[in-house]
Structure formats: structure tokens, C-alpha cells
Chains A and B, each alone.
Chain A
């Protein structure tokens, strides 16, 4: 028997030959799987037979293989008879280790019932559901889309697996952000409520006792001055001036807190008129300080006149307050020459630039932002009086007008306040 007496060399050659055949077969399978092959020629007893693969299902075979979803086919027992490479990636196994085992072995223990329900329903109707897919290395949330397939071998179950990890992450992030937003909203409501409570407290409960201090100390001063020693009288003056200062503080805080609830009606206003009103109020002070004020022609724009007057007043009052000892104050108020607020509004919103430049003591430019903070003072109140609220109010008003205010300063040279305002507020 020749065949039983093959030499070792012959056997080795045969093995080598079989290996090559196996590799070829694997390559062919791979080629079929990835759609590189259109036809197979198989040698048979009747000669060469051509098996063409370029049928309707070739497109789908490629499609299934290339898509980002996992795809498996199960037989009646729930054993995987086919899997695409994407499913292999999902569970981190080579395809050879996937076919032939129970699909349920990839379902996370907690989700087995859900899975069983889905599968049993899947045999009668299309079904969809979410489960956790677990493998040795990871657990991922997936959506299973189950449908039956009529194949030559009989009915099998096709499952498309969509990785829900990115969606779940986005959902979590969205949920977290929503919660954060709600929390912030709640805090904002609380603080708004507090602010209004505060305004009411400040307007009555704080001012009434303060007024008592004022009236009774003034009473002493006006009616009992002769009974008081010089020292006592000096103390009394301190009480009176401190309570006056306290009064100004309360009023200023109140007007700051009320800005948000005040009426927001905007009317077309000639800014020159507003400036003139402020300057008239300061007429005596301007004369006293020998101040010169140059006002260039200003545009007419839509503002809340009362509020804007307050801004101008705050800036001008600052310019008259923070002056150099030896130099009479000089204020130049101008509008950007390139911008004419009287132009009809076009689609591009037009803005008005206003500049208030003085020759006062100025400030270090590093404070350019902080001077707008509530209660921010760069000088002791002995040197320059004020509550430190004026600029904070101004900023709030300008921001309500959707504008911007910035300050530029140079110590010992002067300050400049620049206001940028939209020329229109009302939308038509």
C-alpha cells in the first residue's frame, strides 16, 4: 500500500500543499466577504463552472461588512451563524471565535431577560431594544434591531447592533448641563428675589431709624448748641455727616438695585439736550471750579433719557471731583465723527461712540475695569467724597442699552470714558 508508506518529506510537502490551499480558501472567503470577488471558477467533473457573485446580494454583503453597526445572524437556537467584522470589534474577538457560540453569552447579566423578550418577539415581529453588550474587555450600551431573514437554510434572525456609547455620553452631558442650568436659574431667581427684598428693606426699614438719628442730632445742634462744649459739638457734627453719608449710600444702592426693574422705555433723544440739562445742574460748581467744558455736536439716538442723564451726570461729576489741585478742570465731550446717529438704521446695526475726556488726576490703567465695580473706590473718602456706586450704576445702564463703557486713564494726566451705544433700541 503505497499511500501508507509515504516518506516524511512527502508528508511534509502534502501538509505544505494543504496549508496553501487553506490560505487560498481563506483569502477567497475574505475576498467574498469584502466584495473583491465577482465570480468563482470551480473545477468539477463537467469542466470549469463559473459561479458569479455579482448578484443583488453582493452590494448588501459589502454594505453589511463596511457599515459602522454590528450585524449578526442567529439560528433557531440563538447561535451565531454569521457576524460582520464590526461586531467582532464591539466584543473584541476575532470572527473565528464568534461564529458558533450563543449570542446570549455577550449580553450583560442584568439584561438577560430584556434580551430574551426581544429575541422571542423578534421571531414573530421586528423588535428594537437597548441592552448592555459585555465582553472580556468592556461593556457597551447597544441598540438591537431584530428582524427575521428567510434564507435557503431556513429562517434565521438578523440583529443589527448600534453602539449607543456616544449618544449615552451626550445624553449624560446634556442632563448634567441641564441640571446645572436649572440650579443656576434657581439661584438667580433667589438672588433677584433677595435683591427686591433688599430694596424694600433699604427703602423703609433702614432709612427710618437713620432719619431718626439725623433729626435728633440736628435737633441737638439747632436747639441745644449753647449747652454743648466745643468737643461735644464736634462729635455731633460727625454723627450728622456720617448719617448723611449713610443716607446717600442707601439711596445709591437702592437706585442701583432698582435699575433692573425700572421701566425700559426708549425714546429718540437729543443727547445735547441731556448734556445741557446736566451742565445746568452743575452751573454753580462749574463756576466755582473755573471749569471749561467743550461739547461737540452729539447725535440723537434711542435711549432711556432719565437713565442716560444719570450716566452723563455720574461721569461729569467724577470729572469735576477728581481734579488736580493746580489745574482748572477741562472736559471735552465728543461723538465719533464717523458715526452719525441720525442715519436711518440699516440691516447692520449702527452705533454711536461718545467720549468724555478730562484733565484730572487720572488713574492707573490697570484699574480700568475695576472702577466699574460696586463700591470700588481708588481714593479714600477723605480726599474725594463719593459712595463708589456711580460708575457701577453707569455701567449697568449702558449694558441695559446693549452698549459698552470703558475707561482709560493715565495718572496725573486725565481720564477718558468711552461709551458705545446702539443708535436704535426699539425693534420695528
Chain B
């Protein structure tokens, strides 16, 4: 199976490093790009000319400057070109309101950021199950 192309938005450098290190240990995901905030996600996607090259999954950190994860999610879902891309929100602190809001906006999942290497792999196993082939 081809590796699934994943786009990450994460403002924290350590977290970007952890995410990409753990992805490299796997053969199911390929990190196509890391953005530092939601604005960059939109800009990055807008720059892709061929629709077939859009990522298979976007993972958004919630707490980011300029555009939060949930704001970016809403923006993507209201843009026809990106509405079909599966989006997951992952966050340090999950509260009920955020979870509800994200699901309502069309997130495939809202997950708490893992606190261990095994937690990372578990999260990625779940993500791969959630995106359509």
C-alpha cells in the first residue's frame, strides 16, 4: 500500500520533531510538510496545483498562534476544494466544548496529545484506521 500523505500543523518545535520521528518509524504515513500555524496550512494547500497531490490527512494542533486548530478546521471544511480532506485535531488539553465543536465542524477525530512513544504509535494506528483508502 502507498504511504498516506500527512500534513501537520504544529507550532511547537519539540512536538514537530516527535511527530516526524515517530512517523519515520512507520511505513504507512509520509509527512509531506509541517506548518507552524493554520494560516500556513491554507497557504500550503493553495499552492498545490494538482488536486491529486493534496494530502490524505491533515493533523492540526489546537493551540496555535494566528489560527487555532478548530478555526483552521472550519476554514478547510468551508472550502469546497479541501472539504473532503480528513482532518484530525490533536491537543494537550481537551475540553468537552472543544471536542463537540470540532466534531460538529467535521473533524474525523479529536485526540489528546500522546505522552509516550507507544502513545504516539497508538494514535497513528487509530488515524490510519479512520481515513478512507
- Give B residues with C-beta under 8 Å from A: 12, 14, 18, 63, 92-93, 95, 113-119
Cβ-Cβ contact count across A and B, 8 Å cutoff = 33
Residues of A within 8 A of B14 (CB): 212
Q: Which size bracket describes the interface of A in this complex? A: 10 to 19
The 6 closest A-B pairs by CB, nearest first: A218-B116, A214-B115, A203-B93, A207-B92, A222-B117, A215-B115
Known: A204-B63, A215-B114, A215-B116. 11 other contacts (CB 8 A): A203-B93, A204-B93, A207-B92, A211-B113, A211-B115, A212-B14, A218-B115, A218-B117, A218-B119, A222-B116, A222-B117
**Is A223 an interface position by the 8 A CB rule?**
yes
Contact of A222 among B95, B113, B118 (CB under 8 A): B118
Bitwise interface map of A from 191 to 217 toward B, beta carbon under 8 Å scored 1, else 0:
000000000000110011001101100
Measured CB to CB, the nearest residue on chain A to B95 is A203
Residues of B within 8 A of A211 (CB): 92, 113, 115
Majority secondary structure, A binding face: helix
Contact of B93 among A207, A215, A219, A222 (CB under 8 A): A207
Majority secondary structure, B binding face: loop
Q: Which positions 206-251 of chain A face chain B at CB distance < 8 Å?
A: 207-208, 211-212, 214-215, 218-219, 221-223
Residues of B within 8 A of A207 (CB): 92-93
A214 and B113 CA atoms in complex are apart in Å by 11
Residues of B within 8 A of A204 (CB): 63, 92-93
CB of B12 within 8 A of CB of A215, answer: no
A222 and B117 CA atoms in complex are apart in Å by 7
Residues of B within 8 A of A214 (CB): 115-116
A421 and B92 CA atoms in complex are apart in Å by 36
Measured CB to CB, the nearest residue on chain B to A306 is B96
Measured CB to CB, the nearest residue on chain B to A243 is B115
Name, among B92, B95, B118, the residue most crowded by chain A CB atoms within 10 Å (CB to CB).
B92
CB of B18 within 8 A of CB of A208, answer: no
A218 and B92 CA atoms in complex are apart in Å by 16
A203 and B14 CA atoms in complex are apart in Å by 19
